[in-house]
Amino acid sequence: MYSFNDKTVLVTGGSRGIGKAIIKAFAESGANVVINYVSSEKAANDLVNEITAAGGKALAVKADVSQFADAEKLVERAIEAFGKIDVLINNSGITKDNLMLRMTEDDFDKVIDVNLKGTWNMCKNITRHFLKNRAGTIINITSVVGLIGNPGQANYVASKAGVIGLTKTLAKEFGSRNIRVNAVAPGFIDTEMTSELPEHVKQHYLGQIPLARFGSTEDIANACLFLASDQSTYITGQVISVNGGMI
């Protein structure tokens, strides 16, 4: 059991799916949690109520991380509420899938803006706080497709591959200040998004997974707990793949 008592964890895109599982895992481990959302206000507030009813501390903040000023206000709001931030988990992400020939410039730009620029915006705005404290942990949620590519997802793959490059670079820039930066690359995870895929598509992916099952959101949350904990203090600049052996 990990202990994050007196720690504050900020998770972007934290109201649903993988983000929600991450929030719940850290809250159950004693952390103060900041749930960032863009449109899922009810889901975010419901999660806050669930955590506070169990004796935890949680705050929901609406912010579009693709906008630099919103990312700045999100960081400031979290610090105002809890005094500090110890862990930043960049989980916000969108998809606008299509084959290259049919993908519009707008579809490409929007995915890059949220997934890659949004991650940069958050890292940039939390840097001064972490440097002042000479401590901090950043965990960026990337994807297995950022490592291997995937037809029909040129925009998404490019954004997630970019997150991997950003992770490795920031780890080298901030290591001397006791700031660790790692990434988690989920494989096929059972979420609301993937549940809507046609059955034949699910079976196609399942056939590529040696463990013969899809991952759970808790699998990703557990990887984040480890990377944020004192048991991983010599790990930085790494991509932890959680994919059941898919690659």
**Annotated active-site residue in 2, 37, 156, 234:** 156
Beta-sheet pairing, 179-186 with 32-37: unpaired
C-alpha span between 175 and 236 (Å, rounded): 8
C-alpha span between 115 and 35 (Å, rounded): 17
C-alpha span between 82 and 102 (Å, rounded): 46
C-alpha span between 42 and 47 (Å, rounded): 9
Residue 199 backbone zone (phi > 0: left; psi -120 to 50: alpha; other: beta): alpha
Sign of the dihedral through C-alpha 150, 156, 157, 160: negative
For the question of residue 2 being annotated catalytic, the response is no
C-alpha span between 245 and 64 (Å, rounded): 34
Catalytic positions, written as ranges: 156
